[in-house]
Amino acid sequence: MRTQVGIVGAGPAGLLLSHLLHLRGIDSVVLELRDRDYCERRVRAGVLEQGTVDVLTAAGVGDRMRREGLPHHGIELRYGGAAHRIAFEELVPGRSITVYGQQEVVKDLIAARLAAGGKILFDVPDVKPHDLTGSPYLTFGGETLECDVIAGCDGFHGVTRAAVPPGELTTFERDYPFAWLGVLARVRPSAEELIYARTPRGFALHSMRSPEISRFYLQVPKDEREDAWPDERIWSELAARLETVPGFRLETGPVIEKSITPMRSFVTEPMRYGNLYLAGDAAHIVPPTGAKGLNLAVADVTVLTDALAQWYETGSSAGLDAYSATCLRRVWRAQHFSWWMTNLLHTFADEDPYGERLQTAYLDYVTSSTAAATTLAENYVGMVW
């Protein structure tokens, strides 16, 4: 087989890249290890920045998002027995977030690509990139896909970054001493907006996916196991961490899914090696506290699409040469914001009273200062670049 851009990974990054390239007249083939059902059902992120919403809308894949997504114009910080709203509409007028599950974005993109005749190969075994500094190609299951460039959109554990020779990439990492227990429940949300709760028992997040489905997260020990959390314990702990302000009561219902997510920060530099371009989780990971992972992937492939279109249309490699530096500027801003939110809201096992007082002092500053609240708001809805 032959195509212009060989894309590894049928997550949001790979699928959106394929669709954006199609809109610019550039051919691509997407190779995915998992089956279609797995890709469309895997529950991950759900907060879309304003820029992500704009990209999906402009690409013609935002109709269902606009019908079913939940626009939010603020979030709540809950600590010390009080609730404090960060009002996006006042602090960053005209910009907001939309709650719409990553799996729904994937469904929309798969449908759009197939309707346009796009080629997505699911259940593809043994994908391997070759000749990254020459004439690249991908092998899989006895087949060969020749291409001009390869886009590595296959996540943190994927094969593309691992194909780069040792010493060619520099990595920056930080692991956190706790994890998140993610819970999806068939119950109507107990609040209209996201609640970030800091308590002596640990962090909790109240979110949602629809008017009937709620999403929750609990800070748990790093080595925690899912089977240590039966439904009764989940609801009891959520209530203990969220029912800390007068009048708030947590709605409960059947737990649909639960999983443990490690908390880590990771960046690889550069995001390019020869004719391989890394995007999304293949190049960087952020702790989910700042809701940046999916949004960074969308930003990466938007930059890569423009660079590839420039190259194919004019022969100029300026955009491709600048791809890594352009993306990393946004990546490191998101890394800092995610690190900041994580340290601000979580309980650390070895934290002394001094550190706890510092967290409280900064939360007081964020919730009382317009300047500090604006910094949080503009980072949360997505910086304009």
- Partnered with residue 151 across adjacent β-strands are 7, 277
333 lies in which domain range?
5-72+97-173+264-342
Say yes or no: 217 and 273 in one domain: no
Q: pLDDT for 164-200, tens place per residue?
A: 999 999 999 999 999 999 999 999 999 999 999 999 9
Q: What span, in angstroms and rounded, lies between the C-alpha atoms of 328 and 322?
A: 10
The CATH number linked to 314 is 3.50.50.60
The CATH number linked to 250 is 3.30.9.10
Say yes or no: 22 and 139 in one domain: yes
Say yes or no: 136 and 253 in one domain: no
Total domains in the chain come to 2
Residue 146's pLDDT is what? 98
Say yes or no: 144 and 38 in one domain: yes
SS3 175: strand
Residues designated as active site = 72, 196, 288, 292, 380
Question: Side by side, which strands form the sheet with 255-269?
Answer: 82-87, 74-79, 195-199, 202-208, 214-221, 170-185, 255-269, 284-285
Say yes or no: 38 and 130 in one domain: yes
Residue 43 lies in a domain: yes
The DSSP element (H or E) to which 267 belongs, if any, is strand 255-269
Pick out the chain residues at pLDDT < 70: 385
Say yes or no: 19 and 167 in one domain: yes
DSSP 193: S
Say yes or no: 313 and 182 in one domain: no
Pick from 288, 290, 283: nearest CA to 266: 283
Say yes or no: 140 and 25 in one domain: yes
Residue 92's pLDDT is what? 96
Residue 300 lies in a domain: yes
Judged on CB neighbours under 10 Å (0-12, 13-18, 19+), 313 is exposed
Q: What is the pTM of this model?
A: 0.95
